[in-house]
Structure formats: structure tokens, C-alpha cells
């Protein structure tokens, strides 16, 4: 075994060697997301900035696509990270997994190149196939869609077959079933129709049933594993909680889909069904907070990996506030009529994606760098610990600042553009020119710079944390260690 504190892939099992590749690309794409977010934010303040070169539509598309892809890379990485541990056997198709990684990464590079250099195409099917589908979050052209599906099938085969060869833990069982749904749902968003109501109806099957159902359950699995690993929480407890979360998440989230069917041409019964079930959606998120905080308190915050634990606690709260509270605030149709399609959505989107998903991926990357360096000490009094602490602090200050600024802009828009002016062109610009909106955009930009600083510090920390440590990782107490095995 290599000496402690030195990056050495000999410290990792097969699945984990693949996982760190995914994590590396994920963090790079996180950086791209921040970069294009900054450019798009600047265009609110300086409309001529990059006009006609990299227009807002291009920056915004790259901002949200980088988000989706870096989270997916992070999730795939996290699943490969825990796969051999959970199943007890090596990944069955590691060569296939590696091939898929390179294919996916190459496809991402090509698609980003097309977005940047070609940007738009003529109004023909060939543009949909080759350039850009023009559908928020899933803009990737059709050829890439097909590639993604093939890669996801290969990934799913690896996960399912490895668990089948080894053992199915509770986490493994939920994970495999969730991945079936997650991959299957993507195909609902691959089809073209001239009918915009039909288009958005199926588009929401992908977007909502990913982020408000299957992704949440995936995160539940990752959090369960993370709590076992960092604190030795008993498996029976985390798996019971996981089943509770699945019941509540799917029980509220599947029919909660209806809150996207208020205004797109879909029937009126969705107003009641969507309003009711989506109002229940915060409940599982409360359960997840209670679960994570209770376990952390029960183990007196003694963990084998403090940064990972901190990011998992951040996940519990971020998920609850970002997805739960911020979602609930405008989920009822009576309110949503005025907030739908304003910066309210942007406020909710920012805090929810960061709180629920970015956090857990970052936690897993911290787990990975620890083991990659020979399972080095990452508990209290870690050398250079200021970096991870300042990174998590700056990222949160930046994110909360952006969320609040966007929320104020959203309130102002709901009032002036929607309630008073009635959503026409004049009303829209009356609201955009209002000082409250403009101040909101300024504060969002300032917060964005803080967030970017936090990202740079995070990236630096991930590259260096543990490199000057020579102590082995904190050992779990004997009864804790028993829980893990």
C-alpha cells in the first residue's frame, strides 16, 4: 500500500477507480455551470455583453445542461463508488463501464462544442437531430439522446448484474429499481410533436419525475450509504428510513407531477390533484432532515470524514429548504398563477438543485479523495481544514444570496408583471425595469461571484485535502464498525 496522503489508484477497488473518473468530469462541468451562469447573470445587468456572440440563450442552455450532466456524472460515479462495497463482489463489466465513461465524456464535449459554435439551426428536423432540440434541460440533440440511453442501459446492466452476482442489500434493491425508472423516464422526453401541450406534458415526465421523484430516491440511497460509512449508523436504521423515504417521496412526488399541469392546456382536475400532492412533497424531506440530524447527533458528530458529513447535513437542510419550502411556497395553483414563469422559479431552482443534489455529489467526492489518498485522516484538526470549511461557507453564502435576490425579483414580477399588468410585453418590461428587480439582479450577481469563489476553493481543496496528512482515518467504534460490515 502506498504511503498515506498520496493519491494512488491502488487504494481503490475497480468500481471506485471508475467512479473517480466520473467525479473528475463532474467537478469540471460544475465549474462550467458556474462560468456560464456568471455570463448569463451579467447579461441581465449589461444586455450588450457578448450580444450576438454568446447570447443569453446559449449561456443559459449551457448553464442548465452542465448542471444536469454534472449531477448525472456525479450520481453515476457515486453508484460505482458504493457498488462493490454494497454488493460484496467486483463490478461485473468494468471494461464496459470504462468504455461507456469515455463515450459519454466525448459526447458531452461534442455537444458543448455544437452549442458554442453552431448554437441554432434552421427550422427543420435535421436541427433537432444534429444541433439542439430547444427543450429546456434536455436540449441535447436526438443523436445524443440515443447515445445517452445506450450508455444508461450499459450502466444499469453493470449495477443490476453486480448486485445479482453478489448480495442485494436494502440500499441495492431500492437503487436498482430506482434506476429502472430513472433511465426509462428519459425516453419520455425524446420525441418531437408540433403540439406544445403534448410536448410539455411528456417533457415534465422527464423533468419532474427525475428531480422530484427518482433523483430524490437515488439521493436517499446515497445518503444512507454515506451515513453508514462516515458514522457507522446501523444498517437496519438507515434502510428502514430509506423505505419510509421511498414511500413518502413516491407517494407525494408521482402525483405531485400535477403541479406542472396547471397551465399548459391539460385538464382542470390537475389543479386539485397537483396542488394537493405537491403540497405533501416537503414531508419526506422533513423525514430526511430528521434522519440525518438525529443520526449525526446520536453519533456525537464523530465521523471518519468531516467534510463529507458536513455536506450530507447540508444536503438534508438544502433539500428541505430548496425543494421543500421553496417549492411549497408557490406550488398551490392560486399562487402559482402569478408566480409561474417568473424569477420565483429561478429562486427555487437554484436552491433546490444545489441543496438536494450538488451537496450529495460533493459529499461523495470527499469520500472518494479520502480513500484515494490511502484512507487518510479527515476528522477533527485536519491539516488545512480551513479550505473545506471556507468552501462550504462561501458556496452557501453565495447560493442563499442568489436565492434571496431572485426571490425578491420574483415577488416584484408577480406583482407588477402578472397581477397588475397582465403578462404582456409592456408589463414584462415594466417589471424588468423596476428598481426592485434591477437590485435583485445586482445582488444575484454579487452572490454569484461569492459562489464562484467558493467553487474555486472547493476545487482546490478537493485536489489537495489530506495531502499533508500522515494519520490514518479515524476508526469507527467497535459497535459502529460492526454495523458497517
Partner 1 sequence: MAEMTTNYWWASESFWKKMAIWITAASAVVLIFLTFDTVAKITAGGKRVPAYSVINHRIDYVFDEKRNHQVPVIGPEEPLFGRSLSESEAAELVNKGKLTVQAKNCMNCHTLLGNGAYFAPDLTKSWLDPAWGSKEVREQSMIEFLMDPSDKLHNALGRRMPKLGITEEEARATVAFLKWMSAIDTNGFPANFKPIDQADTPAEAGAQATPAAAESSPVQ
In the window 440-479, what residues touch partner 1 (CB under 8 A)? none
Of 6 and 420, the one with the shorter C-beta distance to partner 1 is: 420
Site for partner 1 in 257-296 (CB under 8 A): 257, 261-271, 273
- Please tell me whether residue 342 binds partner 1 under the rule CB under 8 A: yes
Of 338 and 364, the one with the shorter C-beta distance to partner 1 is: 338
Contacting partner 1 (CB under 8 A), which of 341, 456, 463, 468?
341
How many of the other CB atoms lie within 10 Å of CB of 70?
25
**Total number of residues that touch partner 1 (CB under 8 A):** 92
Tell me the C-alpha distance between 446 and 268, whole Å. Answer: 41
Question: In the bound complex, what is the minimum distance in angstroms from residue 425's beta carbon to partner 1?
Answer: 4
Of 243 and 386, the one with the shorter C-beta distance to partner 1 is: 243
Question: In the bound complex, what is the minimum distance in angstroms from residue 53's beta carbon to partner 1?
Answer: 9
Site for partner 1 in 124-143 (CB under 8 A): 124-125, 127-128, 131-136, 139
Of 23 and 44, the one with the shorter C-beta distance to partner 1 is: 44
Binding map of partner 1 across residues 39-68, x = CB under 8 A, - = no contact: -x--xx--xx--xx--xxxx-xx-------
Site for partner 1 in 199-228 (CB under 8 A): 199-201, 203
Site for partner 1 in 402-421 (CB under 8 A): 413, 418-421
Contacting partner 1 (CB under 8 A), which of 293, 422, 449, 475?
422
Of 84 and 133, the one with the shorter C-beta distance to partner 1 is: 133
Question: In the bound complex, what is the minimum distance in angstroms from residue 6's beta carbon to partner 1?
Answer: 39
Contacting partner 1 (CB under 8 A), which of 165, 298, 468, 475?
298
Of 52 and 478, the one with the shorter C-beta distance to partner 1 is: 52
Question: In the bound complex, what is the minimum distance in angstroms from residue 107's beta carbon to partner 1?
Answer: 19
Of 127 and 442, the one with the shorter C-beta distance to partner 1 is: 127
Question: In the bound complex, what is the minimum distance in angstroms from residue 416's beta carbon to partner 1?
Answer: 12
Amino acid at each position: 500500500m502506498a504511503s498515506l496522503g498520496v493519491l494512488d489508484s491502488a487504494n481503490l477497488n475497480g468500481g471506485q477507480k471508475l467512479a473517480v473518473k466520473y467525479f473528475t468530469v463532474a467537478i469540471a462541468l460544475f465549474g462550467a455551470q458556474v462560468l456560464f451562469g456568471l455570463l448569463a447573470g451579467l447579461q441581465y445587468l449589461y444586455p450588450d455583453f457578448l450580444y450576438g456572440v454568446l447570447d443569453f440563450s446559449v449561456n443559459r442552455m449551457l448553464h442548465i445542461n452542465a448542471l444536469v450532466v454534472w449531477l448525472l456524472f456525479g450520481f453515476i460515479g457515486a453508484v460505482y463508488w458504493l457498488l462493490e462495497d454494497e454488493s460484496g463482489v467486483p463490478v461485473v463489466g468494468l471494461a464496459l463501464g470504462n468504455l461507456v465513461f469515455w463515450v459519454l465524456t466525448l459526447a458531452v464535449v461534442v455537444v458543448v462544442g455544437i452549442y458554442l459554435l453552431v448554437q441554432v439551426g434552421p427550422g427543420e428536423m435535421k436541427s433537432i437531430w444534429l444541433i439542439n432540440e430547444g427543450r429546456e434541460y434536455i436540449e441535447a440533440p436526438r443523436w445524443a439522446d440515443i447515445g445517452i440511453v445506450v450508455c444508461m442501459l450499459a450502466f444499469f446492466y453493470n449495477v443490476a448484474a453486480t448486485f445479482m452476482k453478489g448480495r442485494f442489500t436494502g440500499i441495492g434493491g431500492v437503487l436498482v429499481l430506482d434506476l429502472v425508472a430513472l433511465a426509462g423516464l428519459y425516453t419520455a422526453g425524446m420525441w418531437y410533436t408540433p403540439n406544445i401541450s403534448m410536448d410539455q406534458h411528456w417533457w415534465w415526465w422527464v423533468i419532474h419525475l427525475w428531480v422530484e421523484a427518482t433523483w430524490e430516491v437515488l439521493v436517499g440511497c446515497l445518503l444512507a450509504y454515506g451515513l453508514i460509512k462516515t458514522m457507522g449508523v446501523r444498517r437496519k436504521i438507515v434502510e428502514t428510513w430509506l423505505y419510509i423515504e421511498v414511500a413518502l417521496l413516491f407517494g407525494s412526488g408521482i402525483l405531485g407531477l400535477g403541479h406542472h399541469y396547471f397551465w399548459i392546456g391539460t385538464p382542470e382536475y390537475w389543479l386539485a390533484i397537483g396542488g394537493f400532492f405537491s403540497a405533501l412533497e416537503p414531508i419526506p424531506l422533513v423525514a430526511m432532515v430528521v434522519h440525518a440530524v438525529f443520526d449525526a447527533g446520536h453519533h456525537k458528530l464523530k465521523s471518519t470524514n468531516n467534510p463529507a458529513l458536513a455536506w450530507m447535513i447540508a444536503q438534508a437542510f438544502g433539500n428541505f429548504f430548496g425543494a421543500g419550502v421553496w417549492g411549497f411556497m408557490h406550488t398551490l395553483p392560486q399562487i402559482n398563477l402569478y408566480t409561474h414563469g417568473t424569477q420565483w422559479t429561478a429562486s427555487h431552482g437554484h436552491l433546490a438543485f444545489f441543496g438536494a443534489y450538488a451537496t450529495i455529489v460533493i459529499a461523495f467526492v470527499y469520500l472518494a479523495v479520502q480513500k484515494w489518498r490511502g484512507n487518510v485522516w479527515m476528522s477533527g484538526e485536519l491539516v488545512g481544514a480551513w479550505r473545506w470549511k471556507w468552501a462550504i461557507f462561501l458556496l452557501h453564502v453565495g447560493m442563499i444570496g442568489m436565492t434571496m435576490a431572485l426571490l425578491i425579483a420574483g415577488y416584484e414580477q408577480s406583482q407588477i408583471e402578472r397581477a397588475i399588468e397582465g403578462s404582456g410585453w409592456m408589463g414584462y418590461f415594466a417589471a424588468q425595469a423596476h428598481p426592485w428587480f434591477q437590485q435583485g439582479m445586482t445582488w444575484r450577481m454579487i452572490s454569484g461571484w461569492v459562489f464562484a469563489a467558493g467553487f474555486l476553493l472547493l476545487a482546490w481543496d478537493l485536489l489537495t485535502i489530506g495531502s499533508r496528512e500522515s494519520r490514518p482515518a479515524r476508526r469507527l467504534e467497535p459497535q459502529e464498525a460492526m454495523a458497517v460490515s
